[in-house]
Structure 1
Amino acid sequence: MIDNLPKKSDFDRITEWVFDLDNTLYPRHTDLFSQIDRNMTDYVSTLLRLPREEARELQKQYYRDHGTTLNGLMNLHNIDPNDFLEKVHDIDYSWVKPDPALGEAIRTLPGRKFIFTNGDLGHAQRTARALGILDHFDEIFDILAAGLTPKPARQTYDLFLEQHGVHSEQAVMFEDLPRNLVVPKDLGMATVLVVPHNLDQALGEAWEHDGREGEHIDYVTDNLADFLGHYLSVAAD
């Protein structure tokens, strides 16, 4: 396991717990986001009448350059975001298994808990429900609440903080993408990077892992439930 674990004093100030959704609240090897990824490739292929291989390459370029594939398609092709979100999230959620240890850890955390996702509300709810953790969150801040501007844009984090009255110095953010932790760190939040078990980079784009060693990352873990459980155990001492 990869962990640099927090001491009790590290999180004494934390009253706001902010979690990314995909590949963070469930492990990257779960066959969930891979379904969304395939659906996005299909969407680009159909929209632009491209062979699937070319569509996937373009999809990843939009993702890298615009924050999300959706944002790139909106900026360059003026698509209907609701149509896109409905089609790409038409997936089988039975691959997501309940995670009682994670649920108990999140339930026990002191303060408010949020899901902050570049996906939409329905997807976040279905995923969290399948994990058995939905009822432990106070709010979900999705891409529509963000005005369709995805992380890592600074304005999206500012909007989240403003809408929910979150004081950044009292917050910690959990994310699987290093670049999405740059702004939270600048805002004064504690940051936790959730990485795949054994750092299997084949399960994602190589550039997604850029910045993993950056100073904007306070902690790294490949097991979110264990990380939170450790904090709760030392906080109880």
Structure 2
Amino acid sequence: MTQLDRLPTKADFAHVTDWVFDLDNTLYPHHVNLFSQIDRNMTAYVAALLTLDPAAAKTLQKEYYRDHGTTLQGLMIHHGIDPNDFLEKAHAIDYSVVPADPALGDAIRALPGRKFIFTNGSVKHAEMTARALGILDHFDDIFDIVAADYVPKPAGDTYDKFMSLHRVDTRRAAMFEDLPRNLVVPKALGMKTVLLVPRNFEYEFAEAWEKTGDGDAQADYVTEDLTGFLTRLVSER
């Protein structure tokens, strides 16, 4: 039996009172491919900043993303850029491609306790995405890269900032993520962890290192259907 075959039960999540969700490729499925627009914008930003051709800019962008958690962090460390300018340009995208998901909204609303979005993006990006999905009003707060002092997941200090700010008891919390490495710290903190993967594990837009890693072993569950996963939890309560 694979992790994907393991269905959640009421007992598995009965203790959870704080529900923490990553944003991109987690609250909406991978095949929506919203992040591809952001990725193109980041490549264009790097190309313009450093006068690089698109191929070289993309290579450097991905290196910074891999080594520093976000392209933004790499650019801040190595080139001293204005993070607000970068975030504004990176998130200048078309949100109309994100389909509304009333069933997901119903499931999130029915979860007992508090719900948070914890993203390496900006609050504005999270709000626009969640509004398109029709789920924005179901969250208590959004913790973004600015609140993290621009230090992205998977840095332990960033999780600590989030947990401290919202007084989260990690033993009574669950984390939903699409990047395996971002689940290592939550699992170590005692959180219930869920890894979101594309349908049939078909990654159309992801780096090889994003698909596997130490986080695989740290995921209590793996699912390709967040709505179905949560609906099962709330329907059993």
Shared fold by TM > 0.5? yes
Partner of 1:4: 6
Write out per-residue CA displacement over residues 148-186 of structure 1, whole angstroms, 9 at most, x where no aligned residue: 100000000000000011110000000000000000000
Alignment of 1:228 with 2:214, yes or no, is: no
Contact 1:3–1:227 (8 Å) recurs in 2? no
Report SS of the residue matched to 1:29.
helix
Contact 1:27–1:196 (8 Å) recurs in 2? yes
Contact 1:5–1:231 (8 Å) recurs in 2? no
Partner of 2:198: 196
Write out per-residue CA displacement over residues 179-224 of structure 1, whole angstroms, 9 at most, x where no aligned residue: 0000000011010000001111342111101227733110000000
Partner of 1:141: 143
Partner of 1:122: 124
Distance 2:40 2:60 in 1: 13
Write out per-residue CA displacement over residues 64-94 of structure 1, whole angstroms, 9 at most, x where no aligned residue: 0000000000000000000000000000000
2:162 partner letter: F
Partner of 2:208: 206
Which sits farther off after the overlay, 150-159 or 199-208? 199-208
Contact 2:174–2:192 (8 Å) recurs in 1? yes
Q: Which runs of 4+ in 1 moved over 6 A?
A: none
2:233 partner letter: Y
1:155 partner letter: D
How many residue pairs match? The answer is 235
Partner of 1:32: 34
Contact 2:64–2:71 (8 Å) recurs in 1? yes
Partner of 1:48: 50
What is the TM-score when the length of structure 2 is the normalising length? Answer: 0.97
Partner of 2:114: 112
1:64 partner letter: R
- Percent identity over the alignment? 64
Partner of 2:21: 19
Gaps of 5+ in 2: none
1:55 partner letter: A
- CA RMSD after TM alignment: 1.3
Contact 1:43–1:84 (8 Å) recurs in 2? yes
Partner of 1:70: 72
2:209 partner letter: W
Distance 1:13 1:27 in 2: 26
How far is the alpha carbon of 1:31 from its aligned partner?
3.4
Which of 163, 166, 178 is 1:164 aligned to? 166
Contact 1:32–1:93 (8 Å) recurs in 2? yes
Which sits farther off after the overlay, 25-34 or 153-162? 25-34
Which sits farther off after the overlay, 63-72 or 24-33? 24-33
Report SS of the residue matched to 2:61.
helix
2:87 partner letter: L
What is the TM-score when the length of structure 1 is the normalising length? Answer: 0.97
Which of 82, 85, 109 is 2:84 aligned to? 82
Distance 2:189 2:129 in 1: 28
Which sits farther off after the overlay, 189-198 or 203-212? 203-212
2:27 partner letter: L
